[in-house]
Structure 1
Amino acid sequence: MLRALDTLIGGHGRRFVVRRFVRPAQRFAAIEASGGIVLLVGAIIALAWVNSPWDQSYYDLWETELALDLHLFEIHQHLGHAVNDGLMVLFFFVVGLEIKRELVSGELSSPRRAILPVAAALGGMLGPALIYTAFNAGTETAHGWGIPMATDIAFAVGVLTLLGKRVPPPLKVFLLALAVADDLGGIIVIAVFYTESLSLEALGWAALLLTVMFVLNRGGVRAIGVYFFLGVLFWAAMLKSGIHATIAGVILAMLTPSRPYYTDEDFDAAMDRLRTEYALARADGDHERMQQALAQMEDLASGMESPLDRLEHRLAPWTAYLIVPIFAIANAGVPVTGEMLRNAASSPVTLGVAFGLVFGKPIGIFLTSWLCVRLGLAQLPANTGFRQVLGAGMIAGIGFTVALFIAGLSFDDPSHLDEAKIGILAASLIAGVIGSLYLLLAAPSASHDTGLEAARARAAGH
């Protein structure tokens, strides 16, 4: 494959493609897959802690009062809220970076390529929402319809990775693009439907800060400290505005440049000049000039990596291995008792969430994908048939991080929140197990049979 790529675009072109497109996607997928294990450990710690003799210490920890006074603004929150409103901003910032990368150069970069994963994500959001609404229509818990809409990228990609060669690589790319589009939809839902009241003054400050950052960005200002300071102020303004503060992370990610500061031609010319400068300085024994040339080479090399790629590469491990597990520990703690399980088994919240994720997700994803292919709007991924799309839909029923996040926004009543958490945890476990077994046993591996099925589907669409 690499030889064919070399023939088509040449060695330099292949290196460019690998550097700009393949490696970032591989890094992201690798982090998400391993991050799913850490996330699972966090959830287990929360469940074990809250069901232990030391359960009160769990609640006392996350209800610890925190105060932040920077003179420009004051914030008073519990530690649990600080995790959800503060630390999770970085998680949504990384999600926003991934969304932008997919929109600029990934599977969502062109209408033709984006139709299938976007349509599948839309179906995978509508199906669970409708099922939840069917269980809770006309009740005080109807507001939780957004809970089962989200797919957890870390768990979903992790499960597909563990299945290995039984899953065609294009199906993994399809699920990753679907999950990214799903995250974008979840962010829109949070911003539009889970905002209770708005402060026009705070929104005005947020708009002003956003404008300043946009102008600085266009003006070529590259100092990270400046953007960090303005970003913190923007987050505080969003927090005070009534719109959930995590949306600030997504907005800031969308402002992050996706192109390197230097072109290939500029880099080659400047590097030749600096190499010559370094050689002359070395010949003269001028160590100061040598260090200056090396420093400029380092700056030049870093400028060939776009700010988007650089920030994603640096922050993704922190969010995957620290922030999201902390979020899981803070939010996945549910007291599991006989009475709780009996109540959950008949609770419309638990049933709506569980049935939405386990059944609504795969049905919605499968039907919208089938419809797009039948209408000739899109093609199935290579070496992939509808049976495998259904299996990917089952895996997409693993809703954890964003589902727990929306549950916390939906309910103030602790009993309803616990019932939602039970539904999320149970459904995620069931979806992961059933989806894995289905892909291993029912859906064929990448083979001639799968290729023929995909070919028939594409032919039927045309």
Structure 2
Amino acid sequence: MPNLTIIERSPDPEATTDSGARRLSIAERLRSAGQVRIGALLLLAATIIAIAWANISYDSYHGFWDTHVTLGVADLRLDFTLHALVNDALMAIFFFTVGLEVRREFAIGELTTWSRAMVPVLAAIAGLAVPALLYVLISSGSGHENAWGIVISTDTAFLVGALALIGPKAPGRLRVFLLALAVVDDIGALSIIALVYTENFNPLPLIVAAVGLAGIFLTRYLRSGRGLVYATLAIIVWLAFLGSGVHPTLAGVAIALLVPVYRPDRRDVEHALDLARTFRQSPNTEYARAAANSLRESISINERLQSAYAPYVAYVVLPLFALANVGVQLSVDILAGAATSMVTWGIIVGLVVGKFLGVYGSTALLRLFRVGEFGPGLTGERIAGGGALCGIGFTISLFIVDLAIADETVQNEARVGVLAASIIAFVLAALIFRISDAVHPAEELGRTLERPVNPARDHIFGAVDAPLTLVEYGDFQCGFCLKATGSVEEVHRELGDRLRYVWRHAPLTRYHPNALAAAEASEAASLQGKFFEFERSLFADQENQLPSHIIRRAQELGLDVERFEADLTSAAVAARVRDDMLDAEAMDITAVPTFFVNGRRHTGPYDAQSLIRALEETAEA
């Protein structure tokens, strides 16, 4: 879910919120952002070390990475250089995590429906095609036109890290857009590696790989011991890809796409909590094992593996890859050669200009023709900054350099181009974001309602075409939101058909553990036409909002419980709540309830008379 920090707001304008809770939420946000920054900084540090090492002692650098390592037992042996071990084995783990993210996005993420995926998918496709075209045009006649794959991919790790370092205030929706784009970008890059840069193809080992992949798919049905089976079959599939001539890192992607992913079933989570309470009352090994297993199984193996491997990829695999691949000599002769090399300039223009034109240009056209969905906060200037950041084509670009170019001199020129393009793209994005922040200062953020009220989307109580509009961002477990419902009811009694009231979600997930589940449950109820009935039942009993209580409420309201439970785990319901949370972040909503009166943010008390006065005054204005 988006990183949204919200606190409850007292109806008394003189009252203050709990400062300790505020400090805690800020600390959590900084810690999360810090983890992203650490990974990007380690990657940057490894890059600098590799360049320094190669320029201080070029022979020792290449001699070290050319060291042979033999793995195996008896007659079954594999001989690798350290460089190949990093690129063929460790990078398979990186591509495995990429595949997990791809699988998740298409199953329960931003790419579940075409209407949601249209903008990032089309931007990613243009971001693949335009750079490749520019590279081929500029490098024409160099003899290395086939190396166009170098410029097609964006480095997701650097992209996220750079966005955390230089991105705009409240970057949530831009981050979601760029991550969805990066997933499609990765699919394109991986497909091109498999189809264009595979040599000495031998189809027979792929039969073994297919059997192993079938076994991986079926492993989900085992009752226990799945970890060992997954690991064994993964090694077999990797070895089969290695023997086939298809780059073995693609085995990681193939395996990841077969790992099951699903949204947690709230009742499974509740059952795990019951077992944990049982263990607390009667601590013993059996209860401890049952509670731990139940908690683990409530989360899909896809997300467990992402969580487990992400630190190793960010802190070990990618820095080692940079250390093994970025060691380019920066002598006067090499830099002079790069300055006049069509390959170098093709890479720089392809990544910096091509990515920007592809991403920003395609989204500008989509916006012009009103195609696709652009949520609040995803403005043209922010997409421009994100498009510039997409020019950081580090990891996969360097990976393809070795696959596409055999000449060591040209490889060095290509690496210079990748490094130069990444630096230029970073600086360009920073400038765009700073200019954007200057044009739209922080104090103007969130003064007006960013997403207009839409009867086809919003939950509206009252006449749809009423002249007065009151929008509330709230939380079903928030005590102050409960008090605000009384004010809203009184306002509606006074104004009658002149008022339309709109509810939008801003759950305090850090302080109210069931608030997100309640919001999603209300959306599931809305699919059966009973949003406000479910809302009233949630506010009527804020202390009991566990999954079992939510199902009971659905039964009491006469909902189709089987359909309700299915909708609770649907990607569409989760996306609807996430959209409201991202809207709240884009408008810098840091307290709930927050009201918008006729499209303008309301400040001060929210008793009925204050809200009525504000509605009348802003209507006249």
Name the TM-score class by shorter chain: 0.7 to 0.9
Alignment correspondent of 2:419: 425
Alpha-carbon distance in structure 2 between the residues aligned to 1:244 and 1:435: 33
Change (3 A) 1:278 1:29: closer
Alpha-carbon distance in structure 2 between the residues aligned to 1:140 and 1:220: 56
Alpha-carbon distance in structure 1 between the residues aligned to 2:169 and 2:266: 39
1:81 aligns with 2:75: no
Alignment correspondent of 1:104: 107
Between 1:112-121 and 1:98-107, the stretch displaced more is 98-107
The secondary structure found in structure 2 opposite 1:257 is coil
The secondary structure found in structure 2 opposite 1:67 is strand
- Aligned ranges for residues 134-145 of structure 1 at < 5 Å? 134-145=137-148
Residues 36 and 164, structure 2, Cα contact 8 Å, conserved in 1: no
Alpha-carbon distance in structure 1 between the residues aligned to 2:32 and 2:198: 31
Post-superposition CA distance 1:435-459 (Å, at most 9, x none): 101210256447769999x989xxx
Residues 149 and 357, structure 1, Cα contact 8 Å, conserved in 2: yes
TM-score, normalising length: structure 1 = 0.85
Alignment correspondent of 2:187: 184
Post-superposition CA distance 1:139-164 (Å, at most 9, x none): 42111001011111122222221225
Alpha-carbon distance in structure 2 between the residues aligned to 1:226 and 1:206: 15
The secondary structure found in structure 1 opposite 2:357 is helix
- Aligned ranges for residues 311-390 of structure 1 at < 5 Å? 311-390=305-384
Alpha-carbon distance in structure 1 between the residues aligned to 2:357 and 2:187: 20
Provide the identity percentage: 36
Shift of 1:345: 0.9
1:291 aligns with 2:293: no
Alignment correspondent of 2:52: 48
Between 1:363-372 and 1:420-429, the stretch displaced more is 363-372
Find the partner of 2:267 among 256, 265, 268.
265
Shift of 1:303: 1.2
Alpha-carbon distance in structure 2 between the residues aligned to 1:414 and 1:50: 14
Shift of 1:268: 3.7
Find the partner of 2:61 among 58, 62, 65.
58
Paired amino acid for 2:375: P
The secondary structure found in structure 1 opposite 2:388 is helix
1:162 aligns with 2:156: no
Residues 203 and 241, structure 1, Cα contact 8 Å, conserved in 2: yes
Structure 1: which 5+ residue stretches go unaligned?
A: 6-24, 457-462
Post-superposition CA distance 1:33-74 (Å, at most 9, x none): 43111100000000000111x331111110011222346853
Point out the structure with the larger strand share: 2
Alignment correspondent of 2:407: 413
Alignment correspondent of 1:226: 229
Change (3 A) 1:233 1:194: same
Post-superposition CA distance 1:184-204 (Å, at most 9, x none): 211111111111232121111
Post-superposition CA distance 1:8-56 (Å, at most 9, x none): xxxxxxxxxxxxxxxxx9999764443111100000000000111x331
Residues 51 and 326, structure 2, Cα contact 8 Å, conserved in 1: yes
Paired amino acid for 1:185: G
| CA-atom RMSD in angstroms | 2.9
Residues 153 and 397, structure 2, Cα contact 8 Å, conserved in 1: yes
Residues 383 and 451, structure 1, Cα contact 8 Å, conserved in 2: no
Paired amino acid for 2:219: L
The secondary structure found in structure 2 opposite 1:69 is strand
Alignment correspondent of 2:603: none
Alignment correspondent of 2:220: 217
Change (3 A) 1:270 1:424: closer
Paired amino acid for 1:182: D
The secondary structure found in structure 1 opposite 2:42 is helix
Alpha-carbon distance in structure 1 between the residues aligned to 2:332 and 2:33: 39
Paired amino acid for 1:82: L
Residues 394 and 434, structure 1, Cα contact 8 Å, conserved in 2: yes
Post-superposition CA distance 1:77-126 (Å, at most 9, x none): 21101110000011111111122222222222221111111111111111
Alignment correspondent of 2:40: 36
Find the partner of 1:204 among 197, 203, 207.
207
The secondary structure found in structure 2 opposite 1:258 is coil
Shift of 1:264: 3.2
Paired amino acid for 1:133: V
Post-superposition CA distance 1:188-222 (Å, at most 9, x none): 11111111232121111111111122222245555
Between 1:62-71 and 1:302-311, the stretch displaced more is 62-71
How many residues of Structure 1 are paired with residues of Structure 2 in the alignment?
Answer: 427
Change (3 A) 1:239 1:76: same
Change (3 A) 1:183 1:291: same
Alignment correspondent of 1:246: 249
Change (3 A) 1:338 1:300: same
Shift of 1:364: 0.8
Residues 93 and 249, structure 1, Cα contact 8 Å, conserved in 2: yes
Residues 118 and 181, structure 1, Cα contact 8 Å, conserved in 2: yes
Find the partner of 1:438 among 432, 438, 445.
432
Change (3 A) 1:29 1:221: farther
Bigger relative contact order, structure 1 or 2, given CA contacts below 8 A and separation 6+?
1
Post-superposition CA distance 1:248-267 (Å, at most 9, x none): 1111111112137x843355
Alpha-carbon distance in structure 1 between the residues aligned to 2:409 and 2:447: 49
Post-superposition CA distance 1:276-335 (Å, at most 9, x none): 6885xx4xxxx7xx3212221111111112211111111100010111000001000001
The secondary structure found in structure 2 opposite 1:335 is coil
Change (3 A) 1:43 1:220: same
Change (3 A) 1:240 1:273: closer
Change (3 A) 1:26 1:190: farther
Change (3 A) 1:2 1:436: closer
The secondary structure found in structure 2 opposite 1:51 is helix
Residues 209 and 234, structure 1, Cα contact 8 Å, conserved in 2: yes
The secondary structure found in structure 2 opposite 1:118 is helix
Residues 376 and 451, structure 2, Cα contact 8 Å, conserved in 1: no
Structure showing greater Rg? 2
Find the partner of 2:70 among 55, 62, 67.
67
Shift of 1:380: 2.3
Change (3 A) 1:418 1:276: closer
Alignment correspondent of 2:517: none
Alpha-carbon distance in structure 1 between the residues aligned to 2:408 and 2:214: 40
